[in-house]
Structure 1
Amino acid sequence: MNELRKAFYVLDMVVLAFFLFAINHSMYFENCVLEAALDLAILLRITVSLLLYKRERLVIFPLVVFTLLFGVAIYADVFHDFIINIARFPEILLGNNATQETMVLERPIAGEMLMKSIIYWVWLIPAAVYAVLYSTKQIKDNGYPWYYIIGGIIFKDRIGKLFLSMSIPLFVALLLGYEMEEYLSFYALISIPLVGYYYWNCHLGRKPHWAEYIALFVGLYVFDKAQYKIDTERIVYLVVSACIIFAVCGWMLYKSRQVVLSVFAFLLTAFLLPTVSLGYNVYQSIEGARSTKYEHIGLSNSKGYMYIRRSIKTNGKEKWYVGVRNRYHTTIPCEYKLVLPTKIFSPFATCIKENRDSVVRSVEYGYVLE
C-alpha cells in the first residue's frame, strides 16, 4: 500500500511538471499581476503536494488559497491559449504536416480534452486527497514551522529538495536552449545532466565513481554529434547515446536500489535535458543535418527556425541541398540550393533549385505561394 501511495504522488508530480513545462512553453502574459497570481498558485500547488505526502494538518491553509486562485484562473479562461496550443503539440512533435500545408488547422478535440483533464487534475486532486486523508483520520501534526506552508517545505524538506534538483536543471536547460545558440546549447547539454547526476547521487548518499562521469560525458557528446548526422546514421548515434546513459543509470540503480529516482535520472539525462538544451526536437527531421540559424524579422524567434542541409552524391560528385526546420519539424524540405528571405518583414522564402528555377514558400508552414 505504501508503494502505491508513493507511485500516486510521483504521478502527481509528473503531471504537475508537465503542466509547468507546457505553461512556460505556450502562455504569454501582458498582465504582470495575473502572471504573478498564477505563479503563486503553482508554488502553492507544489507545496500542497508535498504537505499532503507528509499528511500535514496545516496543508488546509495553502490548499484553500490555491483552490480559490486556480479556480478564478479557470473561470477567467486564462488557460484558453494553453489548451489550444498544447492540444496540437503532439501532432506537431510527431511531424504530422497534413494540415500545415493547406493552412486548414483541424481542431484537436482529443488533445483539448486531455489538456482540460490535466488542468482539472492540478486543480481538484489535492482537495480530493485531503478529503480522503481527513475522513480516514490520517491527517497529523508534524510540527512544521509556519513558513513550510508558504513554500518553505520545497527548500527545506528532503523530498522538496529532490523536486528542485529535477526541476531547476530542466528550467535552466530551457533558458539556455531557447535561443538555439550552438556553443551555448553544447555547454548546457554536457554540464547540466552531469551536475544533476552528481546531486541525485548525493541525495542517495553515494559518491559516483569518476568512470561514471566519463561514460555520461561520452553519451552526451554522442547525443550532441547526432544532430549533425542524417537518416540512419543519426538514429544510430541517438541509440548509442541512450545505451551509454542507460548503462550509467543502471549502475546507479544497482548501487542505490532506488528504482524511481534511477528511472527519472535516465529519462532526464538521456532524453529530456539534452533535447531541451538543444532547443529543438532532434528526433524529428532526421533527413537534414543542423546548420546555421534562419533569422528573419518577419518570423517569431520562439519557433526557432534554422537551416538544415544534406549531401547527395551524383556521378561521384557531392552536392549539398538546404531546407528549413523549426523546433519541431521540417517546414521547407532539403531539396534546394539556396533558401533566402523574400523581403525584410515577409515570412516567406525564395527557394532556388539546381536548375535556377525558384518557388516562394512559407517558412512557417511550408506551403508554396502561388
Structure 2
Amino acid sequence: MYVAVKGGEAAIANAHALLADRRRGDRSVPALRLDQIVEQLALGVDRVMSEGSLYDCELAALAIVQARGDMIEAIFLVRAYRTTLPRFGYTKAIDTGAMLVERRVSATYKDLPGGQLLGPTFDYTHRLLDPELAAGGDVAEPLQRASEADAMPRVSAILAREGLIEPDGDMSQDHIPGDITREPLEFPMARDIRLQALSRGDEGFLLALGYSTQRGYARNHPFVGEVRIGEVELELDVPELPFAVPLGSVRVTECQMVNQFKGSAKAPPQFTRGYGLVFGQSERKAMAMALCDRALRATEFGEDVVAAAQDEEFVISHTDNVQATGFVEHLKLPHYVDFQAELDLVRRMRAEHDARENAGRAEEKREAAE
C-alpha cells in the first residue's frame, strides 16, 4: 500500500473517494449502464477482452467504467480478475474455417470462392464528425441485408493447391500447446507460445512494429491473404462422453498474411504465412499481429535478424501493456532512500568536478603570471 505520503491511509481513502467522484462525473448526467457500453462501445470492449485474455463483455464493460475509460487500466483489472477464476479445462481448437462470417475481405483475389463480405467497417467511411450522432439521431438500416454466405475456403488453401505456400505449421499431432498464463516465458519459444503473447499484446505496440516492417526494418513484403470476422463455436471434450460438448460461441478476428519468400537451400521460392487471431472485432490488431508473427519467423527461414520486429526477446518482453505499466508507473512510488543516495553521490561528484575546475584555473593563472 502507498502509505508514504502525508496523511497515510486517510489520504489514500480520500484519494479513492475523489476518484469515485470524478468517475461518476456530473450527477445531472445519467450514469452509464454496462449494456450501453457493450452495445455502443463494442470495439473498446473487444480490445479489453482480447488484451485482458478473458471473453466476457459485461466484465470488460465494467472494467472500462471503473477505469474511467483508461483502456490499459481496464485491461489490468480484467487480468487481475481472471487470476481468481477456476480452470475447468481446455476447449478444442476452434475451427475458423467453419466460422459464421460477418466480414471477410481479401487483398489477393478479387473474385474468390464465397466472395468478399464487407460487413461493419470504417474502411469506406469519410473521417468526418457526424453531428447527427451527437443529437442522438436514429441509425439508418442497411439498404440490403447480406444473405447467408456460401462456404468460404481460405485464400491460403487456394495457394496450397498449387504448392505455392508453405505448409500450415510444423507442430506434431500430439503437440500440447503451452499456456503463458500458467508457465513462465522462456526464450527461444515455440510459435504457439509466441502467438499467445502477441494475441494479448498491446495493440499500439504491435501496430508500430508491424508498420516498421513495412518501412524497411525487416524484409517483409506482405499481402492480406484474408481477414475474417465472425462467430466460432467452442467445444469441450468431457472424459465421460464420447463426443465434444458445445459451450457456445465467441466472436474472433482472424488474419492470414501472405508474404513473398525467395527461397533458400532448404525451401523453394514460395509464399510464407503470418498469422493473427484475437477476440472480438479488431482487424487492425490481427493484421499487426500477423505482420509481427512473420517477422519473428526470420531465423526459421534463414533470414538475417536486423530489425526490432524480428527480435523475439525484444518483442515479446515489451508487448505486454500490463507488465509495461507496472514497470513505468512504479516510478511514482517512494524512492526516497535511493534518491538520497544518488543525491549524495551527485553532490560529491559535483564537488570533485568543481575542485578540479578551480585547480585548473589556478594552474592557468600561475602559468600566466610566470
Range class of TM-score, shorter chain:
under 0.3
Which structure's CA Rg is the greater one? 2
> Higher relative contact order at CA 8 Å, sep ≥6: structure 1 or structure 2?
2
| TM-score between the two structures when normalised by the length of structure 1 | 0.21
